[in-house]
Amino acid sequence: MPNRRSALQIKTRKAFVANASRILGPKLKTAVLAQDLEKLFRNSQGVMIGQIQNIWFYNFSEGGEKNDFRIITINGD
């Protein structure tokens, strides 16, 4: 049976930085760096960078020209 890591909820920038090495493994970094920005996957749940190792983010702004993009899920290695 594969070793599955438990879900980690990060709610602040400080917590993300403190856990960055745990969250951003080498396969995920490679997937992000290889992503063609013209070919991002988009649907009603947000935008995805990568494939199996991926990062989902969403624009929480209320419209207009303001952007409030936040990471909502990271599926790392």
> Is residue 41 predicted with pLDDT exceeding 90?
yes
Give the tens place of pLDDT for each residue, 4-21.
556 788 899 999 999 998
- Could you tell me the pTM of the whole model? 0.76
In sequence order, which residues have a C-beta less than 8 Å from that of residue 67 and are 6 or more positions away? Answer: 59, 61
Average pLDDT, stretch 26-44?
Answer: 92
Average pLDDT, stretch 50-56?
Answer: 91
> Is residue 31 predicted with pLDDT exceeding 60?
yes
Mean pLDDT in the chain?
A: 87
Q: How far is CA 21 from CA 24, 29, 40, in A?
A: 6, 11, 24
Confidence of residue 1 (pLDDT cuts 50, 70, 90): very low
